Structure 1
Amino acid sequence: MRDGHQTLALLLFSCFVAVTLGITTWVSRRRHGSAEEFYAGGRLFSPMENGFAIAGDYMSAASFLGITGLIALYGYDGLLYVVGFFVAWLVVLFLVAELVRNCGRFTLADVVAARMSERPVRIAAGTSSVTVSVLYLVAQMVGAGSLMALLLGRTGGAAQAWTVIGVGALMVVYVSLGGMRATTWIQIVKAVLLMSGTIALTVLVLIRFHGDFGRLLLTAAERSGQGKAFLAPGLKYGGNWTARLDFISLGLALVLGTAGLPHILSRFYTVPTARAARRSTVWSIGLIGGFYLMTIVLGFGAAAVVGTDAVRESNEAGNTAMPLLALDLGGGAGSTGGTVLFAVVAAVAFATILAVVAGITLASSASVAHDLYASLRRPRRKAHSEVAVARFAAAGIGVVAIALGLLARDLNVAFLVGLAFAVAASANLPVLLYSLFWRGFTTRGAVWAVYGGLIPALGLVLLSPVVSGSPGSLFPGVDFQYFPLQNPGIVSIPLGFLAGWLGTVTSDEVADEARYAETEVRSLTGAGAV
């Protein structure tokens, strides 16, 4: 990339960082040190504000960079990610949003522990939440590194590593100083920027093809090198039974995983009532739905305008399709319009990554402090403030995410997020649904449900082509691949539900009818909700 691209993109990104750091500093001076303020922003956000924040939290690098790249590379099969990510919100709206807001305070474990023995349940749910959060963070780090490598060209290798480190450091600052209030406003600003940039690019793509979407698709198919196969199922997930099962597994993970994501669930605690939580979800569905419809245009637009080969040459996983499309739409390399548009898209992508990692880090640090620390602390030891522990936890989680982000730098970000969704659907969703809807559910069932989904999901990923045994693996030089699918959801999600059922029916514990009745009334009516 030319110096003009680098300078302008870095300048715009620096402006966003300055604004968000200003928001964080302002909030840190105004806020109080209470857990409710740090974790939930005082529960003072309106449904519209929270809806924008949820959309900002959800529309991550996987959406902006990864899905566009997958559509540009695989056509119809890349489009399947859009369907999965969006349909998942129906599960959230009808099964989770209101009930979680009524039953909990700050984390997923609050909902489950309301009618169980707290210590084992909090340890299990906290461990699972942190694991999902770290996997999700890795995807954002990889997206940031890919964008910087494109921006700086040949020098991008070292810059990619330093970008991952810099993003990790910024997210720790946002969370440690500003808590939920600053994180929410950062996500709102980011959602507005992202929607504005996406609308502008979509309009330019449609103008390029005179509003003829059919012509756009035919041109994309022609320039993909695959012909009509580009517009039909099977380019990535067709052929043998392994690929088809991988698609089913991915679909299950995407549709069911959103309802188990810790950073999404925590957003429902930032509004005052369950009705506000439901209205927040409706707002977010409108924004997210519009965004994903536009990514379809942009993905096929990248294939048609830039070309699949050029996208793959820039980044094997397709993570740079969107910036390359912006460069071409603006007039090409060397033009003023291309430079400006490329810089704007790069800055929006960085803003997207920073806002999402802030939300994920806050949710995972809350799990560490509110669930793990509170459960594992020895009674005679001096108790530290939960908020102080959460700030230290944010730093530790940042270090882990940086290390894994450097390791997985060559994988597609949407694919990495798919793994995080699979773990969330396997470990968090079974225990959440059983706790809300099964009268006889017990503590053993809750613990078994979490670990019965979490351990198989992680184990199958370690034994899959993602880690070893193929050229695109994390460790291509070794081969301990025994599980043929890249996404474990088709196996690990049923195992999570089965483990929860088995743990309950083999338990000697008698479910507390009174506590279940109280939980049921609270979840459905909001009576007694915090």
Structure 2
Amino acid sequence: MTDDHQTLALLLFSGFVAVTLAITTWVSRSRHGSAVEFYAGGRLFSPMENGFAIAGDYMSAASFLGVTGLIALFGYDGLLYSVGFLVAWLVVLYLVAELVRNCGRFTLADVVAARMTERPVRIAAGTSSVTVCVLYLVAQMVGAGSLVALLLGGTSGAARTWTVIGVGALMVVYVSLGGMRATTWIQIVKAVLLLSGAITLTTLVLVRFHGDVNALLSTAAERSGHGDAYLAPGLKYGADWTARFDFISLGLALVLGTAGLPHILSRFYTVPTARAARRSAVWAIGLIGSFYLMTIMLGFGAAVLVGSDAVRASNASGNTAVPLLALDLGGGADSTGGTVLFAVVAAVAFATILAVVAGATLASSASVAHDLYASLRRPGGKRRSEVVVARVAAVGIGAVAIALSLLARDLNIAFLVGLAFAVAASANLPVLLYSLFWRNFTTRGAVWSVYGGLVPALVLVVLSPVVSGSPDSIFPGVDMQYFPLENPGLVSIPLGFLAGWLGTVTSPEVPDEAKHAETEVRALTGAGAV
């Protein structure tokens, strides 16, 4: 990439960082320091504002760069990623949005512990929430390091290392100083930037084809090198039955995992009522749906205007499809328009990463302070403010995420994101649904459900071909592959539900009917919600 590309991208990115730091500084001066302010932004956001923030939290760099690249390379099979990410929001809207807002205060554990023995449930739910968030953070920060090489021309290991450290330091500043209010406004700004960039690129692609989508699809098939197979299922996941089961596993993780992501669930606590939570989800569905429709156009546009071979030559996994498309749409690599459009895409990608890591860091630090610290603190020990603990936890989680990202900087970003979704769907979703809808659910069932999904998900990944046993593995020289699928969701998600059922039916505990009735009334009506 030319020096002009790098300079413009750095200027735009620096401008976004300056604006977001100004927001954080302003919020840190005006905040009151209460738990409600730090965790939930005072519950003062409107449904539209929260909907934009949810969209900003959900639409990660993996979606903007990764999904578009997969569509450019694999056509129909790549498109199914967009479908999975979008359909997941129907689960959120119809099953959890309102009920979570009514039953909880700040975290997932609040909902589960409402009618259980709090200490073991909070420890289990807090552990799984932190695990999911850290996996999500590592994926985003590995993406940040890769973007230096892909978008700014930084090919050295030192450049990637300092980028990861810089992103980690910024996310700690955002969360520890500004809390939920600053994080929300950063996500809103990022959502507007990302949607504006996607609309601009999509419009330019459609203008090239005079609005004829059919011509775009047929030309993409011709240039893909695969012919009609490019627009049919099976190009990426149809080689054998293992690949097909792997796709089913990934689809389950994507569709069910969203409802168990801690940083998404925490967004429903930032609005004043359950009705506002539902309307927030509707806003989010509209914005996210529009974005993923545009990624489809951008993916096929990259296949036509850049070419699948050129995309693959630049990056084997297709992560450079969007910037290469921006260069072409702007007039080419040597043109001013191409340089400007490329720089905008680079800045938007970095803004996307910063906003997502801020949300995940806040959710994980809330789980540490509100769930783990409150449960593990010695009875006679000095009680510290949860907000202080959360700020310290943000620093610690940032340090852990930076260290893991540096170790995992050569891993596949999409795999890390898929793993986070699989763990969320395996450990968090079963216990959440059982707590909300099963009258006889017990404390043992809740604890077994969390660990029964969390542990198998992590163990199966270690035993999968992603870690060892193949030339593309993390450790190609080692062979401890005993599980054939790359994503564990197909096995670990049912195990999470099964463990919750088994723990409940074998538990000697008699469910408290009064507590269940109180929780049910609160979930459905909002009576007593805070």
The TM-score normalised by the length of structure 1 is 0.98
Deviation at residue 73 of structure 1 after TM alignment: 1.7
Q: How does 1:299-310 map onto structure 2 within 5 Å? A: 299-310=299-310
CA distance in 1, matches of 2:152, 2:159: 7
Counterpart-to-counterpart distance in 2, 1:280 and 1:437? 23
Which whole-Å deviations, capped at 9, do the CAs of 1:100-138 have from their partners, x for residues lacking one? Answer: 000000000000000000000000000000111111112
Matched position secondary structure for 1:307: helix
Q: Which residue of 2 aligns with 1:265?
A: 265
Residue 235 of structure 1: CA displacement?
1.3
Distance change in 2, residues 1:313/1:158 (3 Å): farther
Mean Cα deviation higher: 214-223 or 25-34 = 214-223
Report if the CA contact (8 A) 1:65-1:143 is conserved: no
Change (3 A) 1:58 1:260: same
Contact 1:51 1:281 in 2 (8 A): yes
1:343 aligns with 2:343: yes
Work out whether 1:208 is the aligned partner of 2:208.
yes
What is the distance in 1 between the residues matched to 2:6 and 2:226?
Answer: 33
Q: Partner of 2:329 in structure 1?
A: 329
The one-letter code of the counterpart of 1:517 is A
Matched position secondary structure for 1:306: helix
Alignment of 1:130-209 (within 5 A): 130-153=130-153, 155-209=155-209
Which residues of structure 2 form unaligned runs of 5+?
none
The answer as to whether partners of 2:253 and 2:418 remain within 8 angstroms in 1 is: yes
CA distance in 2 between partners of 1:478 and 1:497 (Å): 33
State the shift of 1:196 in Å. 0.5
Q: Are residue 507 (structure 1) and residue 507 (structure 2) matched?
A: yes
- Aligned partner of 1:95 in structure 2 is 95
Deviations 1:387-440 (A, max 9, x none): 111111111211222223233334443332111111100000000000000000
Task: State the distance in 1 between where 2:142 and 2:111 align.
Answer: 32
Distance (whole Å) between structure 2 residues aligned to residue 370 and residue 65 of structure 1: 34
* Aligned residue identity for 1:372: L
| Counterpart residue type for residue 350 of structure 2 | F
Aligned to 1:362: 362
Structure 1 runs not aligned, ≥5 long = none
Name 1:64's counterpart in structure 2.
Answer: 64
Find the aligned partners of 2:473 and 2:214 in 1 and give their Cα distance: 36
Q: Which aligned pairs between 1:404-419 and structure 2 lie closer than 5 A?
A: 404-419=404-419
Alpha carbons 2:148, 2:154 under 8 Å: kept: no
Contact 1:148-1:156 at 8 Å conserved across structures: no
> What CA distance in whole angstroms lies between the structure 2 residues aligned with 1:286 and 1:384?
41
User: Are 1:231 and 2:231 matched, yes or no?
Assistant: yes
Aligned residue for 1:203, secondary structure, equals: helix
Residue 78 of structure 1 and its aligned partner are, at CA, apart by 0.8
Where 1:201 maps in the other structure, the secondary structure is helix
In structure 1, how many angstroms separate the alpha carbons of the residues matched to 2:73 and 2:141? 21
Partner of 2:219 in structure 1? Answer: 219
- Verify the 8 A CA contact 1:311 1:318 in the aligned structure 2: yes
The answer as to whether partners of 1:149 and 1:157 remain within 8 angstroms in 2 is: no
Partner amino acid, structure 1, of 2:332: G
Going from structure 1 to structure 2, the CA distance change for 1:171 and 1:464 (only over 3 Å counts) comes to same
Match of 1:32 in 2: 32
Distance in 2, Cα, partners of 1:478 & 1:329 = 44
Q: Which moved more, 1:449-458 or 1:314-323?
A: 314-323
Measure the CA separation in 2 of the matches of 1:275 and 1:496: 30
- Contact 1:242-1:485 within 8 A present in 2 as well: yes
Instruction: Tell me the percent identity.
Output: 87
Take 1:452 and 1:318, find their aligned partners in 2: how far apart are those partners?
A: 35
Q: How far off its partner does 1:56 sit?
A: 0.5
Q: What's the CA shift string for 1:363-398, capped at 9, x where partnerless?
A: 000001100011001011111211111111111211
Q: Once the two structures are superposed, what CA deviation does each residue of 1:447-488 show, in whole Å capped at 9, x if it has no partner?
A: 000000000001101111221222332222322111110110
* Counterpart AA for 1:11: L
Residues 44-55 of structure 1 correspond to what in structure 2 (within 5 A)?
Answer: 44-55=44-55
SS of alignment partner, residue 466 of structure 2? coil
The residue number in structure 1 matching 2:74 is 74
Aligned to 2:384: 384
Q: CA RMSD in A?
A: 1.1
TM-score, structure 2 normalization: 0.98
Distance 2:467 2:350 in 1: 27
Q: What does residue 122 of structure 1 align with?
A: 122
1:244–1:155 distance in 2 versus 1, CA, 3 Å: closer
Name the SS of the counterpart of 1:153 in structure 2. Answer: coil
Pairing of 1:416-455 with structure 2 (within 5 A): 416-455=416-455
Q: Which amino acid aligns with 1:442?
A: T
Q: Secondary structure at the match of 1:155?
A: coil
Q: Distance in 2 between matches of 1:156 and 1:150?
A: 11
- Aligned partner of residue 115 in structure 2, secondary structure: coil
Give the C-alpha shift of residue 154 in structure 1: 5.9
Which is further off, 395-404 or 86-95? 395-404
Cα separation, 2, equivalents of 1:407 and 1:320 = 23
Q: Which moved more, 1:397-406 or 1:501-510?
A: 397-406
Alpha-carbon separation, structure 1, partners of 2:349 and 2:205: 18
Distance 1:223 1:415 in 2: 27
Letter in 2 for 1:467: V
- Would the aligned equivalents of 1:319 and 1:413 in 2 still touch at CA under 8 Å? no
